[in-house]
Amino acid sequence: MQRFPYITDYMNEVFAKEKTHWDFILLRPLLIVFYFFLRFISFPIKFILRRNPLGFEGYLIDFWMAFGIKYLARHDAAEVFMRHVQIEPLLYRHMLSRRDAVSEDKQKKLNGIDGEFGVENTKTIVDNNLTIGHDLLSYELVDRFDKTVFLENLEYIRSIKPENHELFSKAVLEENRKHSFQLLGATNLVILIVTVITIFGDLKTTITALNSFGSDSVLLWCMKQIYAENRQVQIDLDFFMQEVSNRGHYNSSAFFSNPSQYLYYHIVFDEVVYDILMNQPAVSKNS
Q: Name the average pLDDT for the chain.
A: 91
The one-letter amino acid at 266? H
Q: What is the pLDDT of residue 249?
A: 44
Q: What is the pLDDT of residue 21?
A: 97
pLDDT at 245 > cutoff 70: no
pLDDT at 46 > cutoff 70: yes
Closest CA relative to residue 117, chosen from 63, 158, 171 = 171
Cβ contact 27:190 at 8 Å: no
Cβ contact 130:62 at 8 Å: yes
pLDDT at 250 > cutoff 50: no
Write the pLDDT tens digit of every residue in 217-233.
899 999 999 999 999 99
Three-class SS string for the chain? CCCCCCCCHHHHHHHHHHCCCHHHHHHHHHHHHHHHHHHHHHHHHHHHHCCCCCCCHHHHHHHHHHHHHHHHECHHHHHHHHHHHHHHHHHHHHHCCCCCCCCCCCCCECCCCCCECCCCCHHHHHHCCHHHHHHHHHHHHHHHCCHHHHHHCHHHHHHCCCCCHHHCCCCHHHHHHHHCCCCECHHHHHHHHHHHHHHHCCHHHHHHHHCCCHHHHHHHHHHHHHCCCCHHHHHHHHCCCCCCCCCCHHHHCCCCCCHHHHHHHHHHHHHHHHHHHHHCCCCCCCC
Q: CA dihedral in degrees (14, 17, 23, 24; nearest 10)?
A: 80
pLDDT at 169 > cutoff 90: yes
In angstroms, rounded to a whole number, what is the distance separating the alpha carbons of residues 81 and 175? Answer: 14
Cβ contact 205:53 at 8 Å: yes
Write the pLDDT tens digit of every residue in 175-219.
999 999 999 999 999 999 999 999 999 999 988 888 787 889 899
Q: What is the pLDDT of residue 263?
A: 80
Provide the pLDDT confidence category of residue 164 given band limits of 50, 70 and 90: very high
Cβ contact 140:58 at 8 Å: no
The one-letter amino acid at 52? N
